[in-house]
Every structure is written in C-alpha cells, then in structure tokens.
Amino acid sequence: STMPPLLSAIANAGRHGVLAKSAVVMERLGEIDTVALDKTGTLTEGTPHVTDLYPLPGAGVDEGALLALAASAENPSEHPLARAVVAAARERGLPLTAVEDFSSLPGRGVTAAVDAHTVTVGAPARLLDPAAQQAHQAHQATAHLAMAHAMVAELEEAGRTAVVVLRDQEPVGVLGIADRLRPDAMATVAALTRLTGHAPVLLTGDNVRAARHLAAEVGITDVRAGLLPEDKVAAVKEWEAKGRRVLVVGDGVNDAPALAAAHSGIAMGKAGSDLALKTADAVVVRDELATIPSIVRLSRTARRLVV
Ligand code: ADP
Ligand code: MG
C-alpha cells in the first residue's frame, strides 16, 4: 500500500485490537526498552471475587452486616475490588444503603458516610496504622486492631488481597478477595522479556505478599508493591532519569499519573477507568494482554521503514 509506514502501523495495531491515538504514539512505542505492568486489572482479569468474610468478634457485625456495610461504601467506586464487594453483597441479596460524602482514596480505598457512620474500606497497610494511632487509649479498639492484623496476615500469605472495613476509624472486619491471572499473562511477560532483553517490572498498590505470589507465577522478579499513584510515577521517573524508555501498562485511576509520565502508556480498555483511557497513548480494545508485545514489534518495524 502507499500509506505512510506509521499510519499503516496504526491501522495494523487496530487490526490487532489496539487503538493508538496518533502516529507519534506508534513511533514512541517502538523506542521503549523497559516495561512496567500494573497488577490488578492488567496482569489479572480484574474481576476479583470475595472469598472470605471475617467480622471481628465483638465489633457488633456478622458476615452479612460486614459485607453490606463495605458494599454500601464501595457502591459508587469503579475499582475492581469495589465491584467485587458490591457483587458479593448482591449475590447474597443484601440491601445496600445510599451513602453521602463518598470519596475515593486512590491506591488506598474509599470512604463514605453510611447511616451516620464514617465507613472506610481499603488497603490494610494504609488504613490500619492510622487507626492504631487514633485508638491507642481504647483497650477494645487495640484488641480489634491486633485481630485485624492477624486476619490480614493469614489472607495475604494465602495470596489473597485483604481489605479492611473501618467504622468511625475502628476496624470491624476484614474481607479476602482473589483474582485470576489473565490466560495470556505468562506468554505476554515472556514476549516482553524477549523484546526488551529483561523481564517487566510489577508496579502495584497491592500488598507485597500477594504481589510476589502472582509475579512468581508469570516470571517477574522485580516487584514494587504498596505503591501510591505518585510512587508509580517516581519509579518511572527514576528509570527515565537513567535513560530508559518506559512503557507503562495499566487500567486504573491510580495508574493515570504513571501512564502520563512514562515514555509510552497503554491502558487496558475493557475494564479500564475513564481517566486511564483518556491519559494513555494507546488503548487495548480487544481484551488481550498479548496484543502489547505485538504492537511494540509493529512499531519497531514501522520505525525502521520510516528511517
Ligand atoms: P493495583 O496497583 O494493583 O491496580 P490499586 O493501586 O488500584 O492496585 O490499589 C491498591 C490497593 O489499595 C489495593 O490492593 C487495595 O488494597 C486498596 N484499594 C484501592 N481501591 C480500593 C477500593 N475501592 N476498595 C478496596 N480497596 C481498595
Ligand atoms: Mg489496576
């Protein structure tokens, strides 16, 4: 065809199921030498399921009440973990309460007013320690905190993501959530390793135990866990300061700053947040991770034809 090589690369990428936003994007994708992958929703299917419900003894909630409380607070959130919590409550026919003052804490969780209580749901590492500081005089609260830590450790050692539920800053229970690897995760990591000469890095807000568990299954050894959105940006900037050209692949609101900061950013389209899709240079529209090494290869070929 007579189409310029980079335009025909865009068309080819489209045929592979990747929407590139411009010819410049295709050019830059051909230059990347380092790949940073997000975990939840990127390496995993992003449709996690609630597997465990642990109300804290003495906190005044049973399994159903714990789940209903968490799901009410999570209902406005588009995070994959929030969708899992809401789906579990719906499956059990639990009534959700309309909330006020909802806000999401990217990379941490959510908080909202439920029946005049402040309910916070999210990452134990982020939420249990502030609670410890607030509750240090209250004997009961300290006992709850110790129990919550023990439940979290048990779940994380089993490779689950633990989510804590706080009511007015006090832990009332812990949920265990499990996600599945995408079927093409292992092959994609292998292909990206061949393309760049080293394995991709895992950047995740999730806990280090769950992250290592999953990374080992796909052949990733460099794992950076417990990251906030700004920590993902810092990791990207650190590599780019050393002259590396980084491709970030992510799906969440929490990935948007890193997608913007990196040499190239690709968002997973199907479950991706609006912000990630808007910020990324290219979007995987067919829900397959394996399209990513394919379009990097395409971009390299197109660049050689241009030069
Ligand atoms: P990842 O980088 O793996 O996609 P995120 O940065 O989105 O993960 O989230 C990091 C951690 O913050 C999650 O593992 C979870 O513990 C917590 N978290 C974030 N959003 C929520 C939410 N809506 N509900 C519960 N926990 C959440
Ligand atoms: Mg994600």
**Residue 38 annotated to the active site:** yes
Active-site option among 38, 206, 231, 281: 38
Cα(260)–Cα(254) distance, integer angstroms:
11
Please identify, by atom number, the ligand 1 atom nearest to the C-alpha of residue 122.
26
Question: For the chain, what is the HEC assignment?
Answer: CCCCHHHHHHHHHHHHCEEECCHHHHHHHCCCCEEEEEHHHHHECCCCEEEEEEECCCCCCCHHHHHHHHHHHHCCCCCHHHHHHHHHHHHCCCCCCCCEEEEEECCCEEEEEECCEEEEEECHHHHHHHHHHHCCCCHHHHHHHHHHHHHHHHHHHCCCEEEEEEECCEEEEEEEEECCECCCHHHHHHHHHHHHCCCCEEECCCCHHHHHHHHHHHCCCCEECCCCHHHHHHHHHHHHHCCCCEEEEECCHHHHHHHHHCCEEEEECCCCCHHHHHHCCEEECCCCCCHHHHHHHHHHHHHHHHC
Is 202 a pocket residue for ligand 1 (Cβ < 6 Å)?
A: no
From the CA of 45, the nearest ligand is 2
ipTM of the complex in this document: 0.94
From the CA of 79, the nearest ligand is 1
Domains contained in the chain, CATH given: 5-45+180-306 (3.40.50.1000), 49-178 (3.40.1110.10)
Structure tokens, 246: 């980084």
Per-residue pLDDT of the chain (307 residues; tens, 9 = 90+): 577 888 888 898 899 999 999 989 999 999 999 999 999 899 999 889 999 999 999 999 999 999 999 999 999 998 889 999 999 999 999 999 999 999 999 889 999 999 999 999 999 998 998 666 565 556 667 888 899 999 999 999 888 999 999 999 999 999 999 999 999 999 999 999 999 999 999 999 989 998 998 999 999 999 999 999 999 999 999 999 999 999 999 999 999 999 999 999 999 998 888 999 999 999 999 889 999 999 999 999 987 877 5
Cα(31)–Cα(244) distance, integer angstroms:
10
What angle do helix axes 291-306 and 185-196 make, rounded to 10 degrees?
Answer: 30
Q: Whose CA is nearest to atom 13 of ligand 1?
A: 206
From the CA of 235, the nearest ligand is 1
Position 302 scores a pLDDT of: 84
Is 196 a pocket residue for ligand 1 (Cβ < 6 Å)?
A: no
Is 135 a pocket residue for ligand 1 (Cβ < 6 Å)?
A: no
Cβ neighbours for 69, distance < 8 A, ≥ 6 positions apart: 61, 114, 119, 165, 167, 172
Name the pTM for this structure: 0.81
| Sign of the C-alpha dihedral computed for residues 135, 139, 145 and 148 taken in this order | negative
Please identify, by atom number, the ligand 1 atom nearest to the C-alpha of residue 124.
16
Q: Whose CA is nearest to atom 18 of ligand 1?
A: 109
Torsion of CA 91, 92, 98, 104, to 10 degrees: -60
